[in-house]
Amino acid sequence: MRFAKRSFDRLGGTALVFAPLLAWLAMVTLAAAAEPLPSWNDGPARRAILGFVSRTTTPGSPDFLEPAARIAVFDNDGTLWPETPLPFQARFVVDELERMAGDHPEWRENPAITAALAGDVASVLRSGPGQGMMLLEATHAGITVDEFENRVRRWLDTARHPVWGRRYSDLAYQPMLEVLDFLRANGFTPFIVSGGGADFMRVWAEEVYGIPPNQVIGSYGKVRYELRDDRPVLVKEGGIEMLDDREGKPVGIHRFIGRRPVACFGNSDGDQAMLEWTTIGREPAFGLIVHHTDAVRESAYDAHQPISGKLVTALEAAPRRGWVVVDMARDWKVVFKPVTEAGE
C-alpha cells in the first residue's frame, strides 16, 4: 500500500496537477502548427496578410504594434458576404413588405412598394434615395429597437437566399471568416464599418462573424427614448442620421473607435476613403480590396455594378496606395463556408 500510495503521488498525483498544463500546451502547439488561412490559395494576397500580421506582432520587429493599436476595419456587404444581385438588407425589406402587405391596403396605391413587391426593388433603388428611403422607413421605423431585432431574427431564421438557397447568415465568405479568426488569434480587434444599418447587422454579426454589437459600425436613423407605462423603450423614428459610406466611413471610424485602424478590408469605391484613412502616410498599415472576379462561384463585377459595390477609383488607386487586390476566382479555394447539417 505504501508503494502504491507513493506511485500515485509520483505518477498519478503529478499527472493530475500537470494535466491542465499539458492540455494547454498541446492546444497551443496544435494551433501554432495549423496553417492559417487554409481556404486561401498560396499567392500574393495570402502572403501579404501573413506578412503584415507577422511583422506587426513579432516582438522586436520594427513594425511591432501593441495589441491596443491592432485595430482592423471591415466593410460588410461584398467584403464579408455577398451584395449581388441585391444587398441582403434590401432583401429583408422586400420580404418584410410582403409579410406586412396584408395589414397595409394603402400600399397598393404606392408605385415604389408595388414595384418592390413585384420583385423589382432594384429599379426602385435606382430611381433615387427618396424612394429607397420610403421602403426602408415602411419596414424599419415606428417600432421599438426590440421589435426590430425580433423581426430581423425571425427573417434570418426563415428566409433563404434566392440564388444559393441557404440561410443568409450561412453566406459569409469562408476565406474572410478565416482572416477574422487569424487576426483575433494575433491580438487584433476587428470592427465592421458598413453602409448597412447598424441595428440590422448587430442582430447577427456576433453569431456569424464573432463580432460583438459595440464593434459593429453602420448607418443609423433617429431613435427616441421614452417611458411607456413606466417601461423604458427606444423607438426607431426613421430618417438617416448617419450614412456610414464613402467619406462617412472615416467619420464613423473616428466617432466610434476613436483611433485610426492599421488594417482595412473593403471591396468597393465606398471603402476608398477608409482605405485612405487607414493607410496613407502610415507604416505599418494594410489595405485590401476583395475584387469580385468569380462569375461561377459567386459573381463577377466592378465598374458595372448598378446598385452598390461599384469598384472603379479604388481599384485604380490600389497599386499607387499599396493596397492588396484579392482575385476571388484565383485566391480563394472556396467562397462560402461549407454546408453543414447544423447550418442548413
Residues of the shown chain interacting with a second copy in the complex, contacts defined by CB under 8 A = 21, 68, 145, 198, 202, 212-216, 220, 223-227, 230-232, 234, 241, 247-248, 250-251, 254-259, 273, 276-277, 280-281
Q: How far apart are CA 242 and CA 239, in angstroms?
A: 9
At position 85, the amino acid (one-letter code) is P
User: Helices (H) and strands (E) in the chain — how many of each?
Assistant: 15, 9
DSSP state of 200: H
Residue 84's nearest CA partner among 297, 326, 344, 274 is: 297
Cβ distance 291 to 315 under 8 Å?
Answer: yes
Cβ-based nearer residue to a second copy, 67 or 129: 67
Output the smallest distance, CB 281 to a second copy, in A: 6
Cβ-based nearer residue to a second copy, 222 or 333: 222
Cβ-based nearer residue to a second copy, 118 or 280: 280
Q: Point out which residues pair with 217 in neighbouring strands.
A: 193
Backbone angles phi, psi at 258, to 5 degrees: 80, 5
Cβ-based nearer residue to a second copy, 109 or 230: 230
Rg of the Cα trace of the chain? Answer: 24
Output the smallest distance, CB 222 to a second copy, in A: 8
Half-sphere exposure of 117 (CA within 13 A, CB side): 18
Cβ distance 179 to 337 under 8 Å?
Answer: no
Cβ-based nearer residue to a second copy, 99 or 184: 184
Output the smallest distance, CB 280 to a second copy, in A: 5
**End-to-end Cα separation, the chain, in angstroms:** 57
Output the smallest distance, CB 173 to a second copy, in A: 23
Cβ distance 205 to 88 under 8 Å?
Answer: no
Q: Can you tell me whether residue 75 is helix, strand or coil?
A: coil
Output the smallest distance, CB 238 to a second copy, in A: 14
DSSP state of 41: P
Q: How far apart are CA 93 and CA 101, in angstroms?
A: 12
Cβ-based nearer residue to a second copy, 254 or 297: 254
Q: How far apart are CA 109 and CA 259, in angstroms?
A: 48
Q: Scanning the structure block, which residue is given the C-alpha cell 433603388?
A: 125
Output the smallest distance, CB 331 to a second copy, in A: 27
DSSP state of 119: T
Output the smallest distance, CB 11 to a second copy, in A: 14
Cβ distance 262 to 69 under 8 Å?
Answer: yes
Cβ-based nearer residue to a second copy, 214 or 340: 214
Cβ-based nearer residue to a second copy, 42 or 241: 241
Output the smallest distance, CB 183 to a second copy, in A: 16
At position 58, the amino acid (one-letter code) is T
Cβ distance 81 to 205 under 8 Å?
Answer: no
Output the smallest distance, CB 165 to a second copy, in A: 30
Cβ-based nearer residue to a second copy, 81 or 256: 256
